[in-house]
Amino acid sequence: MAVFAAIVFVAIPLLRLAVPPDHPLHVSDYYLLLLGKFMCYAMVALAMDLIWGYAGILSLGHGLFFALGGYSMGMYLMREIGTEGQYGSHLPDYMVFLDWKEFPWYWAGSEYFALAVLKVLLVPGLLAFVFGWFAFRSRIKGVYFSIITQALTFAFMLLFFRNDTGFGGNNGFTDFKRILGFSLAEPGTKAALMATTGLFLLLALLACRYIVSSKFGRVLAAIRDAESRTMFCGYNTRHYKLFVWVFSAVLCGIAGALYVPQVGIINPGEMSPANSIEIAIWTAVGGRGTLIGAAAGAGIVNGAKSWFTMAFPEFWLYFLGALFIVVTLYLPRGLAGLFARRRDAA
Amino acid sequence: MNTIDNALEPSGETTGLGHVLQPGKIDVSHGTILYVDDISVSFDGFKALNGLTLVLDAGELRCVIGPNGAGKTTMMDVITGKTRPDSGTAFLGQTLDLTRLTEHEIARLGIGRKFQKPTVFEAHSVFENLELAMKSDKGVWHSLFARLDSADTDRIAAMLERIGLKAQAGRPAGMLSHGQKQWLEIGMLLMQDPQVLLLDEPVAGMTDEETARTAELLQSLAGRHTIVVVEHDMEFVASIARKVTVLHEGRVLAEGPMDLIQNDERVIEVYLGR
């Protein structure tokens, strides 16, 4: 963990900023961005592992919470553009294009960073709370729950695709200029965003590890393995599921908010059902119920994706499917399980 | 003034005017702990319970027998809040209406249940199984910050001793034998400090020796806990039962001491067989 901190907080930023571009150890913006992105994905995988690996709830809609966190941050970033858009208006370009004269009511206060941060936490959190409240009260479980979460993210994608929704339709938000006054084009800003992501990933890992090693975590695993026994032990399993569900959604929202300023775009494609399924695959490949394995799985699968989509762009999805099948059949505990087995044998 | 003083006395204490009720406390002042009154449950037209009435005295050890489909498991489902009856009432003590409470609320009030198929947390160690079952604050916040104190570990250690699983404390419960799982599950119920224990086939799959030890354990618990045993093993029933209830087609067919039941014409007809 100290190694991770040293690399993310010291080595990489130094190699980017202090080493000249022609030096072989120089880290380019491309790899800086890749690392930042992967760490956001790793946070999402942690969130997924918490509810799937430990509580046994498979969500196929976690991309939605990630996207909502991203949009919440994106609204603020749109306001930071100011009047530097194509049309020179204080409104975002797409609103000018739609011939809107002023911001819709739900954009009120979006120019304040603090409010954006609050929304990053509250919007995914509230949606997860309301959805979880009804789903867990109706005792919806297993594959039914997964399908409903998939439908939920699909419905939101359709909603966000509409121009009238006021979030830029299928183009979403892009062309961001600065965050908190710092230019997003500056290498220093990029390195700082990457390091911030690393910090949050570390905090998320510690928080998740605390949760799963507490009595709460043991109750979660008990719910996963024998829910009715857990109820007859006197636990209100609904409250436990709801808590971890909302926590997981908020974690995704934070990851989304860190992702958008680095990548520079957020659009409804992030809510597509396939995206959410991919999250489940990262977690399965890395190893369910291990936290660190899931986080590593996000990096490994996305690393493979970056390389594959450059080398053999048309075969990536076949590879992803094959990977999932192989892991499911031969590595039920993922790559982390492979390491654990080796350690047991030694 | 007098009535206010009385309110501080434990429930069940009698005064000249009767006794004062305390919310959430089991009131056994009349000696009865469980009243199941005229309960009916039907699933898609099939009457699983048909006007079932059952009264249990505090501290009693009762065996419930009956052929398959007689409604034994459904009866337990109603008492533990898993199934809502179509009609009838079920009361714990004088005051607590079980048909209005949820599973975890009923469990917290002090009704423990063992399933037909032994159900323990297989991925958790034997120790953790007992820890999770132990009577304590079972809310989300408490669990996030809970720590075991020495009194807790002592209680768990004592229970491990009692159910003969001390040597297995650190093993995952999934690795236990069938009989050991049955014992662990009974141990988990006892950790909840229950008033009423509902045991669905507690000796199924046990060796003769394990069965004998289970009979001994249940005998030792009677008096302090009220125990309801649903069982097919007639030898086992005969060895522990003081009073037997025979269910048939969702209602009580006969009730009484074992030797009387064994000679009851109707019981022989439907169940014991000629």
> At B93, is the pLDDT very low, low, confident or very high (cuts 50, 70, 90)?
confident
Give the residue from B215, B190, B191, B188 showing the smallest Cα distance to B202. Answer: B215
Residue B7 forms part of a structural domain: no
Residue B21 forms part of a structural domain: no
CA-nearest residue to A241 within chain B is: B140
pLDDT exceeds cutoff 60 at A308: yes
CATH number of the domain bearing residue B186:
3.40.50.300
Average of pLDDT values for A1-10? 79
Pairing of strands B251-256, B243-248: antiparallel
Quick one: pLDDT at residue B194?
92
Q: What is the number of domains present in chain B?
A: 1
Residue B48 forms part of a structural domain: yes
Residue B218 forms part of a structural domain: yes
Average of pLDDT values for A53-70? 96
Residue B236 forms part of a structural domain: yes
Give the domain ranges of chain A.
Answer: 2-345
Question: What residues make up the domain containing B217?
Answer: 26-272
CA-nearest residue to B113 within chain A is: A232
Measured between beta carbons, the chain B residues lying within 8 angstroms of A234 are 104, 107-108, 135, 138, 192
Measured between beta carbons, the chain A residues lying within 8 angstroms of B197 are none
Considering only the beta carbons, identify the residue of A215, A226, A236 that sits closest to B121. A226
- A with B: how many residue pairs have Cβ under 8 Å apart? 78
Residue B231 forms part of a structural domain: yes
Residue B95 forms part of a structural domain: yes
Considering only the beta carbons, identify the residue of A219, A221, A231 that sits closest to B107. A231
**For the segment B104-161, what is each residue's pLDDT rounded down to a tens digit?**
999 999 999 998 888 999 999 999 999 999 999 999 999 999 889 999 999 999 999 9
pLDDT exceeds cutoff 50 at B4: no
Quick one: pLDDT at residue B5?
39
Residue B104 forms part of a structural domain: yes
CB pair distance less than 8 Å for A218 and B132: yes
- Percentage of chain A beyond pLDDT 70 is 99
pTM of the predicted structure, to 2 decimals: 0.90
